[in-house]
Amino acid sequence: MTLPALNLVNLPLNHQDRPVPTEIAADARYLIRAEVDADILCRLLNQFALQGHVPAEVEASRREDWLDIALRVNTLPRYRAEVIAQRMRGMVSVCSVDLHVQGAEAVLSAT
C-alpha cells in the first residue's frame, strides 16, 4: 500500500496570522497590583522568560493582602509589551496592570 503524495496548499494569511512588523526595543514599565500569592512573582516573570527577556528592574512590596510590583524591561518592542500586559491581566491573582512604554503618550491600563 502506498500513501498518496502530499501537496502544499497556499492559504492566504488571515489578519491575525500576519507577522508582526519588527519594532525597535523600547523601555517598558509595568505597575502591577496582585493578591498575595506564593507564586505570583514567578508567574509574572515567566511571561518575560518565555519570550527570552530579562527584566532590568523588579521591585515588589507587600501591603496587607496585596502585592505592588514594579517591573522594567528595556528590550521589548511595544507590541510585545502590550501582549505580555494582556496575559498578566488574565491571571487570576492579578488585580490591575498599568503599562508605560517610553515614547507613548498614554498609559495603557486595565483593571
Asked whether 100 and 107 are in contact (CB, 8 A), the reply is yes
pTM above 0.75, yes or no: no
Report helix, strand or coil for 33. strand
**What CATH architecture applies to the domain 24-110?**
2-Layer Sandwich (3.30)
pLDDT at 107: 46
Q: Report CA-CA distances (Å) from 66 to 3, 11, 77, 93.
A: 60, 48, 29, 10
Q: What is the pLDDT of residues 7-53, one digit of tens each?
A: 666 666 655 555 555 567 889 999 999 999 999 999 999 999 998 99
Domain boundaries, the chain: 24-110
